Amino acid sequence: MNKIRVLIVDDSAIVRKVFSEELSKYPDIEVVGTAPDPYVARDKIVSLKPDVITLDIEMPRMDGLTFLRKLMKHYPVPTVVVSSLTTKGGKLTLEALDVGAVDVIAKPGAAYSVGDMSAQLAEKIRGAARARISKRTEDDNDTARQQPMKALAQTSNKVIAIGASTGGTEALKTLLVQMPSNSPGMVIVQHMPANFTTAFAERLNGLCQITVKEAKDNDSVSHGTALIAPGNYHMLLRRSGARYYVEVKTGPMVHHQRPAVDVLFKSTAQYAGANSIGVILTGMGADGAAGLLDMKNMGAGTIAQDEKSCVVFGMPKEAIKLGAADKVLPLEKIASEIIRMV
């Protein structure tokens, strides 16, 4: 098996050392070089031809975002963004994902240990190595997407549960901007570190007809609202009488993830059953496949994104293999199918 060749780009010598040491523990990953800034990185990318790069966003001489724009325009390489757990870091990271970065990971620190980081970084690198990427133009970064559908003639008390990982930030944007203002309540898990989900929800809220917000414990699941699980917390669906609400809690990682899609889907199967719709989007690994099957077995409608429109056809593929998906659809057709099911 060919090893995944990785170049680490970071102005911190400590981060370069830690990442190199941690990644060397995995037999399928090889660190072929490191670079302290984009100028050195540019030369090493040409000479070493890495399969994946990890890229710090905040660097001297040239910031990572500017470098990423140039890279994706002229010499696209699957890129995992490394960012600090700050509000500024979250916003810059979303820009990087817009520009073409495949995934994001937080720098280890007081709230995020090297041990937590190691397995996640390796998994994100594996996902990036499989990702479909292409040269980007300015038009690719246009936030305009398909027009939202007209408001539903009558509302439904169904719950829509959505899970995504690698490539999911753009996939969710494409899906959610199409949803009408009185859509059924949505609960969403996107694999992202803490702090980044706040900026992600705010950004989507500015683009969509529906209200998009980072979930807080005991938030109601209501018409026209999408709740996004906060990074580093699991989100579960609960029910009290006719009211659906979410429980936001800590707990062990599932599939190396917190939040985990399976945690959301399994609770949705239990508390909403046939009154729910499950959607699994692009992502590396198997998180969400078993939970989607639980939903289907309880009578929910289920949808998986098709291979051609996925950045990484991992999570949907596993769900399809289990027989968990009623429909397998290209991304741009999923919103209309959700409304049809409603």
Per-residue model confidence as pLDDT tens digits over 216-246: 999 999 999 999 999 999 999 999 999 999 9
Strands 234-240 and 243-249: antiparallel
* Tokens linked to 85: 């757990």
- Pick the catalytic residue: 191, 262, 276, 306? 191
Whether the Cβ atoms of residue 209 and residue 246 lie closer than 8 Å to each other: no
CA distance 79 to 145: 24
* List of domains in the chain: 4-139 (3.40.50.2300), 159-341 (3.40.50.180)
The alpha carbon of residue 291 and the mean position of all alpha carbons in its chain are separated, in whole angstroms, by 17
- In the three-class reduction of DSSP (H, G, I as helix; E, B as strand; rest coil), residue 75 is classed as coil
* 244-300 pLDDT, tens digit each: 999 999 999 999 899 999 999 999 999 999 999 999 999 999 999 999 999 999 999
The mean-pLDDT minimum among 69-73, 114-118, 168-172, 194-198 falls in 114-118
Provide the pLDDT confidence category of residue 134 given band limits of 50, 70 and 90: confident
HSE at residue 304, side-chain half, CA atoms within 13 A, is: 30
* Structure confidence at residue 61 (pLDDT): 78
Strand partners, 193: none
CA distance 310 to 308: 6
* Structure confidence at residue 193 (pLDDT): 84
* Structure confidence at residue 154 (pLDDT): 63
Whether the Cβ atoms of residue 90 and residue 83 lie closer than 8 Å to each other: yes
Q: Is the peptide bond before 184 cis (omega within 30 degrees of 0)?
A: no
Provide the pLDDT confidence category of residue 141 given band limits of 50, 70 and 90: very low
Question: Which residues lie below 8 Å from residue 124, measured CB to CB, with a gap of 6+?
Answer: 80, 102, 103, 104, 105, 166, 284
Look up 287 and say whether it is catalytic: yes
Query: Helix-strand-coil percent breakdown of the chain, rounded to 5?
Result: 40, 25, 40
Provide the pLDDT confidence category of residue 132 given band limits of 50, 70 and 90: confident
Nearest to 318 by CA among 329, 308, 304: 304
Provide the pLDDT confidence category of residue 146 given band limits of 50, 70 and 90: low
What is the average pLDDT score of the chain? 91
**Residue of higher predicted confidence among 48 and 93:** 48
Look up 98 and say whether it is catalytic: no
What are the angstrom distances between the C-alpha of 146 and each of 116, 133, 173?
38, 21, 10
* 199-214 pLDDT, tens digit each: 999 999 999 999 999 9
Q: Which residue has the tokens 């899609």?
A: 261
- What end-to-end distance do the CA atoms of the chain give, in Å? 45
In this predicted structure, the answer to whether residue 87 has a pLDDT above a threshold of 80 is no
Helix intervals (H) in the chain? 13-23, 38-48, 64-74, 87-99, 114-130, 168-176, 196-207, 261-271, 289-297, 315-321, 331-341
Whether the Cβ atoms of residue 289 and residue 296 lie closer than 8 Å to each other: no
In this predicted structure, the answer to whether residue 110 has a pLDDT above a threshold of 60 is no
Instruction: Return the percentage of the chain with pLDDT > 90, whole number.
Output: 77
Nearest to 276 by CA among 208, 341, 210, 206: 341
* Structure confidence at residue 142 (pLDDT): 46
Supply the DSSP symbol for 2: P
Nearest to 237 by CA among 201, 285, 273, 282: 273
Whether the Cβ atoms of residue 210 and residue 191 lie closer than 8 Å to each other: no
- Pick the catalytic residue: 84, 165, 267, 276? 165
Look up 191 and say whether it is catalytic: yes
* Structure confidence at residue 156 (pLDDT): 66
Mean local confidence (pLDDT), 5-12: 95
**Which helix H or strand E contains 32, and what residues bound it?**
strand 29-35
- In the three-class reduction of DSSP (H, G, I as helix; E, B as strand; rest coil), residue 274 is classed as helix
What are the angstrom distances between the C-alpha of 141 and each of 10, 58, 137?
25, 21, 7
In this predicted structure, the answer to whether residue 137 has a pLDDT above a threshold of 50 is yes
The mean-pLDDT minimum among 1-5, 20-24, 327-331 falls in 1-5
Which residue type is seen at 80?
A: V
